[in-house]
Structure formats: structure tokens, C-alpha cells
Structure 1
């Protein structure tokens, strides 16, 4: 396999359509490709991800990122709610512990009307993302350096977001404590998880009682090519 083959992402339009009732347009596919190249390049000096093989990158970074917000994808008519109105009601999102930009960057590419804040406490990763955004032509995302608990105490971030995204951040109760103070009343937190147990849900329920949150739903699914077990836990800010 030569370098050109290694660096080309699969398009996977049929699988996008089959699993999410959506597929990227040509411009979005090109942005995904450029994002992939930037991550592979950045990975040589930064510990951004262990996932650099094209098919694995597509599934575990691109597809997985968008699966968590499938209800907001513009052509997803599987949702009981109108997808256009759902997207319009979600205007500000924060990706907590974004790392190399996942899930925030793919979501910003796909939902250009959504304002996405990429939050991380590691300056090198934020610096990397600051170079990525203009290169990809992403104008609806900004970076933010800091810890979520500190950021949540700042007036312009406290209860300011409609959507919080947490992927590979830590235990579910910790994720809830990071996310809920940043959400408006009625806002939604998406916890990206691998396996999910009754014990974990019980522990999470106990942790969010005093944070004004409730577990709205838990979606179980398998990844489309490797058949890995995944869950998305959706928390609603209720008070």
C-alpha cells in the first residue's frame, strides 16, 4: 500500500445513508479528508489519537462523532421530532475535553449553523486546533483553553450552551458534573460510552440528582464496520 492509498479516507456514502439516514456532500467529504491528513500529521508530534488507519478513522472518529447527534442531522427523518426544528433549537454546543477535536470538529463541519466551542485543558492541543480551523475553513467553531469546572464559573459560559459533548473524558458521573453547569435549562448532554451497565446508570442517577439533570435516554448500537458495542447516554438539564 503506497502513501496515497494510506492517506485516502473511504467515502462510505451507502453506509452513512444506511446507518444515519444522511451522507456528506462533496465539500464535507473534502473537509473530512483534510481533517484526517491534519490529524495524521499532528500525531507525529502530539499524542492526538491511536487511530490513524483510514477505515478505523472513518468509523471511530467520524461516524462515531456524528452518531451521537444523529437526531440533529439535517436529513435524518427517523427522529420523532422534526429534524429542522431540532437543529434550529440547538444553537450553541461545547465539546468538553475535545483532544484532537472529536466529536466537535466533525459536528461543526456537518452542522455549519451550530456554534461549537472546543474546550481542552492542554495548551498544545488547543494550539493545534487553532491551526486546523482556518485550514479547514471552519468558521463556526472556536477553541477554549481551560478546565470545565473553572469555565462553568465564568458568567458568559455558565448555563450558556444548548448541547454538551463528552467523549473519552472519564466516568459518567464526572462527565455529568462537567456538563450540566454549562447547559441552559432544557439543554442536552451527550455522553459517548463504550459498554454501559446497570451499575453505571445507577451511579450516574445518584450523581446527577443535585445537579438538576435527568437521564433522558440511553441508546445502544454497534459500530458499522467493526461491530463494536457503543452507547450514547443523553442527559437533560431540567432545573
Structure 2
């Protein structure tokens, strides 16, 4: 408990007893499901708290003062960062989107086991779901963690976000070239880079960056492009440069 308390103090947010219980149960469920579904390489308890729970919340904590937020976690995988966010903010609505049906099944069963009623899991590709009327520019916040290069993540995420809303891209290291490509992509997607938040994880001291985007104008209906195109032909990519690789997070 002392370890967890020190992490929460570093974050500037404290879970109540029910949220602490849900985090404990989430860890147990992820470990139990890991052998079947290969959910995560992080299985050590303290590492899980730092690199899954703390890290997931660190990217969204600046939005916690906002009430009744609708958020979407794109490429949720085992449920990060969306599950911890849904637990931390029971007044928010969180949609956890992933294209792998088995992982979506795990998320759905985990939500039920934890008694989390303010979140749902959906199986589908961002390139398709973002064109549905009930999801297009419908969310206050999009979060994407370890999904693709930043400019690709912007194309996946920003079409879901309302004008005036935002997106958070969770990254490891961050390079100038990535920032240039992301800015070029945002210009085509009706958005701008609002903040590049650099920090270290509190125990391992691993470097992280959260890139905050503001949606300033409606995006063109053509985005996101059909499945495969955002990765094969990244929006905003500099000519003669290889696309920035996905960063493990």
C-alpha cells in the first residue's frame, strides 16, 4: 500500500477505497487472462501499477477537473489507458475500441467483473467506426497509447473528437521530426498541438511524453482514410524520410 500511495501522491490524485479495490481486481484479471490472450508483458505487480495504472492516468489527469466527459480509447488492447480512466472518473463515459475481438471480449468481461458501468467495449477499426454518425465528432477526448506513429494516431483519433475537444497521444521518446509530421497532419485534420508534456515515470524514471492536441475545426469527411492507408501513406510525412516507428509504451 505504501508503494501505491507514493505513486498517487506523485500523480496528484488519490483513489478512494472502491477504486483501490477495482485496481487490485483489474491486476488479478489481467494476469489471469494474460496466458490466454497475451495481453501484456508487464506482470510484476509494482511495474503494473507504475506502467499501466499510473501511466494511463498521467496522460488524462489534466482533464480530470472536467465533469461528464465522453472519452474514447482507440486501440485499447488490454484496456489501457481507458479502463483506469473509467475507474478514476465514474462520472465520465469511456468507450474502449479495439479491432481484436478476443481483447474486446476480455475488456467487456472485465468491466462487468469490476462493476464499471460508465464504460463500454466495441470491436472495430477506427478507420471505419469514425465514419459512423453516432461516433463522428462525438467525443470530448480521445486517448491513444502505443498504437502507431503520432501522425497516424492523429488521423485515427481526431475524427472522433468534437470541435473544442482534445486528444492525448501517449509516447515514449519524442523527436523533432515527429513533431513536424504531427503538426502537418493536424493542419489537415482541423487540430493543433497544444502541449508536449515530457515527464519521467516515478520509479523506473523511464522517459514519457504525452502530446495534447486541440480540435479547432471540423475535419474533412475523407479522414480517416480506409484501413491500411494511414499507415502506408502517413499524413504529414516528410518526403524522403521513413515513417516514425511505433513506440513501445
Matches within 5 A, 1:17-32: 17=9, 19-32=10-23
Equivalent residues of 2:7, 2:50 under 8 A apart:
no
Question: What is the RMSD of the two structures over their aligned residues, measured on CA atoms?
Answer: 1.1
Q: Which residue of 1 aligns with 2:147?
A: 169
**Residue 16 of structure 1, CA deviation:** 1.2
Query: Are 1:10 and 1:55, in contact at CA under 8 Å, matched by a contact in 2?
Result: no
- Compute the displacement of 1:15 (Å): 3.0
What CA deviation, in whole Å up to 9, does each residue of 1:61-105 have, x standing for no partner?
0000000012133xxxxxxxxx2xxx12x5210000000000000
Q: Are 2:5 and 1:13 equivalent residues in the alignment?
A: yes
Aligned to 2:109: 131
Runs (5+) with no aligned partner, structure 1? 1-8, 74-82
Give, in whole Å, the separation in 1 of the partners of 2:2 and 2:107: 23
Aligned to 1:202: 180
- Number of equivalenced pairs: 217
**Aligned residue in 1 for 2:45:** 54
CA contact (8 A) 2:186 2:192 kept: yes
1:211-226 correspondence runs (5 A): 211-226=189-204
8 Å CA contact 1:10, 1:54 repeated in 2? no
Find the aligned partners of 1:148 and 1:124 in 2 and give their Cα distance.
17
What TM-score do you get using the length of structure 1 for normalisation?
0.88
CA distance in 2: counterparts of 1:160 and 1:40, whole angstroms: 33
Cα distance in 2 for partners of 1:141, 1:147 equals 18
- Structure 1 equivalent of residue 35 of structure 2: 44
What secondary structure sits across from 1:69 in the alignment? helix
CA positional deviation for 1:14:
2.9
Contact 1:11 1:29 in 2 (8 A): no
**Partner of residue 166 from structure 2, selected from 188, 213, 230:** 188
CA distance in 1, matches of 2:173, 2:149: 12
Partner deviation per Cα, 1:38-72 (whole Å, 9 max, x = no partner): 00000010011000100110000000000001213
Q: 1:144 to 1:199 in 2, by over 3 A?
A: same
TM-score by structure 2 length? 0.85
Unaligned regions of 5+ residues in structure 2, if any? 218-249
Following superposition, which runs of at least 4 residues in structure 1 exceed 3 angstroms of deviation? Answer: none
